[in-house]
Chain A
């Protein structure tokens, strides 16, 4: 599992990367740092989201209504990994059927909610200003186009 703490760059190293001179070598090194920082940011976001998902699992890891289904949990992990390279970190919980659920806000009247079932089916509803959209799609290991498109539109504002 990815760890945000282990891969976060120390503040001093980050500052030194910003103060290289203007030579091409320095530029290459700075670009390399930027790339590395972007990678760390993604890892940290994914790590944080997976820890949130684990907490949802642990709080409900018991028989009865609301318990997260193991297969749904695994689907949710893969779903998060597929979207977090570029999408913001959602608030994660679980519904009464034990399906991990995700909620994003992008401003007034701009939001997306979704939940994923054990078989990979994703139910979602979104609002883009005056435009509402909802439906069902399927996660088969890569981010469904519908969800990707919605998140991209919502992030654009």
Chain B
């Protein structure tokens, strides 16, 4: 059974998942839409550390971590190798905040004019990610 632990940096052998909630987040070509991996207003992208979990446990993690209004549902997920995160000089940090296995992709360019830089990085992550439909 997983237990929360102090935050630590994930390595290239790790995989994180971004749970998707809208059908348009997986493109016609089967890849993840870059916008799904853009940082949110906190300047980070929340993900889950999924190493060592089987498929059922991963989906359960996605469903159980939602505390949303009625509309929210998990439509899929983007599995992102942390190696790809490191390659574009971002960081994947598991912090267990909110739920055990919570992690974040951090280190995004900041500032009002840096959205296009974030888009470039999000696109690189989306290309490295594997889209999985629920």
Contacts and interface: CB of A to CB of B under 8 A. Distances in A.
Q: Is B one of A's binding partners?
A: yes
Interface of A: 52, 55-56, 59-60, 62, 64-66, 91-97, 101, 103, 105, 111, 113-115, 123-125, 132, 134-136
A91 B71 CA distance: 22
Interface of B: 21-25, 27-29, 33-36, 38-41, 69, 71, 113, 115-117, 119-120, 122-123
B35 A94 contact: yes
The 4 closest A-B pairs by CB, nearest first: A101-B35, A134-B116, A96-B40, A123-B115
Contacts of B71: 59, 62
25 contacts: A55-B24, A56-B22, A59-B24, A64-B69, A65-B40, A91-B28, A91-B29, A92-B24, A93-B22, A93-B35, A93-B36, A94-B24, A94-B35, A95-B35, A97-B38, A97-B40, A97-B41, A101-B33, A105-B29, A113-B34, A113-B120, A115-B115, A125-B120, A134-B116, A134-B117
B33 A93 contact: yes
Contacts of B117: 125, 134
Contacts of A113: 34-35, 119-120, 122-123
A111 B28 CA distance: 15
B23 to A, nearest CB: 7
B23 A96 contact: no
A64 B24 CA distance: 18
Contacts of B120: 113, 125, 132, 134
B113 to A, nearest CB: 7
A127 B113 CA distance: 19
Given A56-B22, A59-B23, A111 B123 contact: yes
Nearest to A91: B27
A91 B33 CA distance: 8
A125 B69 contact: no
A136 B115 CA distance: 8
A150 to B, nearest CB: 12
Contacts of A95: 35, 38
A55 B33 CA distance: 15
A136 B25 CA distance: 23
Nearest to B123: A113
Nearest to B127: A111
Contacts of B28: 91
A64 to B, nearest CB: 7
Contacts of A52: 24
Nearest to B27: A91
A124 B36 CA distance: 15
Nearest to A109: B127
Contacts of B40: 65, 96-97
